[in-house]
Amino acid sequence: MIFKFANPLKFQRFTKQIQPFALSLSIIFLFFGLFFGFFRSPPDYLQGETVRIMYIHVPCAWFSLMIYSVIAMCSIFSIAFKHTLADIISRSCAPIGACFTLATLVTGSIWGKPTWGTWWVWDARLTSELILLIFYISLIIINNAYENKEKGDRYAAILAIIGIINLPIIKWSVDWWSTLHQPASISKLSSPSIDNSMLVPLFIMTFSLFFFFISVLLLRIRGEIIQRKIDVIKFSHVR
Amino acid sequence: MKKKNKRLLNILVYLMLFTIGCLILLMNLRDNLVFFYSPSEVFQKNLDPTNKIRVGGMVKKTSLKKEVKKIKGRSLEQISFVITDFNNEIKVSYIGILPDLFKEGQGVVVEGFITSNGMFNAKTVLAKHDENYMPPEIKDIKSIKENNNGI
């Protein structure tokens, strides 16, 4: 099943069929998410209306970590098994992940000013998330630094594997060290400490951003495969 | 073993060693990575009073006092409150604007210096938000329940 789609050309055809569905699901969920977020959910007892920033901040933060894990797994796969599709996926993921990370930092900053009384502090959670952004930007730079795409893919994959260590640090920074950032409200082991009326828009927005990620990713993968085809034609012409 | 499986094994071994290294590093840097100390830690560590430090905890209930003082010809509001971690507490004085979420019984982080008389002279006050999110009505019901249990 996996190896059927592991052929880049077959995968390209598959993305073309799936991408419009993902995009329309994202738009539908976005509509409902914003509606529930703005009109059908209560203000917080302490933060007031500022709590609504959470509906965009939290999903962005989740996906900034998830997309990096995708890149990391593809990088291990790429170095061990040398498969082109893994390179294509991690190359396509990096800018999307960078955008989600930037959105996390910016929305968090906008929330932090009225809540904490500061735009930015150097606590463990905020700093490790900033380091994640730096990793993403480095991956994009390395991917595009070499004329030879294979070289760029390989060096970026090595950096991505080194960056894996940052993921658990971001996730558990709030438990390991005292930070200004609050600990996670939603975890597997205990019931969420967010009221149900606020969980609804949060999860709808998460679905929306998930399908948005999928649709942009498929679009970028398709572009990347076409680009590689063009490169092959160009270089064979030169020879 | 096949060549590609050997490569996979290599990556995993390197990753594991790297992770262990980082863990050792982080465990040893623990004191430098915390954003704030609790009042108990401040007393235990005997910190250098000339260093700027951050202390965090709960604002003790009914400890918040505001009084207007004349300082350098201007009348300023001197705010004082007590930070507690339920074992030790530290008295804080502050002149400036408090964040909106600053309340008695809520988390707070202050940045400043310990003065000679054991008071903490805060230069910055940050409100700390906890992980609980709920609408105002539910909060009211919960606090009524807590009060009843207390009786």
A162 Cβ under 8 Å from any chain B Cβ: yes
How confident is residue A2, by pLDDT bands cut at 50, 70 and 90?
Answer: low
So what's the pLDDT on residue B149?
55
Comparing CB atoms, the residue among B30, B129, B132 nearest residue A115 is B129
Beta carbons of B126 and A121 less than 8 Å apart: yes
pLDDT digits (tens, 9 = 90+) for A8-39: 778 888 888 899 999 999 999 999 999 999 98
B151 Cβ under 8 Å from any chain A Cβ: no
Closest CA to A222 of A93, A130, A92: A92
So what's the pLDDT on residue B151?
42
Minimum Cα–Cα distance from B32: chain A residue: A177
pLDDT digits (tens, 9 = 90+) for A167-196: 999 999 988 888 889 888 887 666 778 888
Beta carbons of A195 and B138 less than 8 Å apart: yes
Identify any residues that bridge with B107 across adjacent strands, giving them in sequence order: B58, B128
CB pairs under 8 A between A and B: 116
How confident is residue A4, by pLDDT bands cut at 50, 70 and 90?
Answer: low
A116 Cβ under 8 Å from any chain B Cβ: yes
State yes or no: pLDDT of A95 exceeds 60: yes
User: Tokens representing A190?
Assistant: 């205990």
Question: Rounded to whole angstroms, how far apart are CA atoms A97 and B57?
Answer: 35
Comparing CB atoms, the residue among B8, B36, B100 nearest residue A80 is B8
Cα dihedral sign for B116, B121, B126, B129?
A: positive
CA distances from A171 to A48, A85, A125, A166, B126 (A): 26, 28, 8, 9, 23
Question: Rounded to whole angstroms, how far apart are CA atoms A48 and A4?
Answer: 51
Does domain B34-135 fall under CATH 1.20.120.790? My reply is no
Contacts of B100 in chain A (CB under 8 A): 114-115, 117
A10 Cβ under 8 Å from any chain B Cβ: no
Name the burial class of residue A84, with classes exposed (0-12), middle (13-18) and buried (19+) by CB atoms within 10 angstroms of its CB. middle
| Helical packing angle, A149-162 and B3-28, nearest 10° | 40
User: Which of A40-49, A151-160, B122-131 ranks highest by mean pLDDT?
Assistant: A151-160
Q: Å from A212 to nearest chain B CA?
A: 27
Question: Rounded to whole angstroms, how far apart are CA atoms A34 and B59?
Answer: 36
For B115: left if phi > 0, alpha if psi spans -120 to 50, otherwise beta; the answer is beta
Contacts of B15 in chain A (CB under 8 A): 161, 164
* Extents of the domains making up chain B: 1-33, 34-135
Minimum Cα–Cα distance from A194: chain B residue: B133
User: Tokens representing A3?
Assistant: 């190896």
Interface mutation vs chain A, best among B131, B137, B144, most A CBs within 10 Å: B131
Has this prediction a pTM greater than 0.80? yes
- Under DSSP, the state recorded for B60 is P
Query: May I ask the CATH class of domain A21-187+208-232?
Result: mainly alpha
So what's the pLDDT on residue A192?
76
CA distances from B126 to A174, A236, B97, B112, B114 (A): 17, 62, 10, 12, 17
> Rg of chain A over CA atoms, in angstroms?
20
pLDDT digits (tens, 9 = 90+) for B48-81: 777 888 989 889 888 888 888 777 777 778 889 9
Question: Rounded to whole angstroms, how far apart are CA atoms B128 and B103?
Answer: 10
Q: What dihedral do alpha carbons A195, A197, A199, A202 form, nearest 10°?
A: -140
B106 Cβ under 8 Å from any chain A Cβ: yes
Q: Å from A22 to nearest chain B CA?
A: 31
pLDDT digits (tens, 9 = 90+) for A101-121: 999 999 999 999 988 889 999
Which alpha helices (DSSP H) does chain B contain, by range? Answer: 3-28, 30-33, 39-45, 136-150
b vs e for A123-152, b when ≥16 Cβ sit within 10 Å of the residue's Cβ?
bbbbbbbeebbebbebbbebbeeeeebeeb
b vs e for A22-57, b when ≥16 Cβ sit within 10 Å of the residue's Cβ?
bbebbeebbebbbebbeeebbebbbbeebbbbbbbb
Apex CA B118: angle with CA B117 and CA B121, to 5°? 95
How confident is residue B103, by pLDDT bands cut at 50, 70 and 90?
Answer: confident
Percentage of residues in chain B having pLDDT higher than 70: 93
Beta carbons of A116 and B137 less than 8 Å apart: no
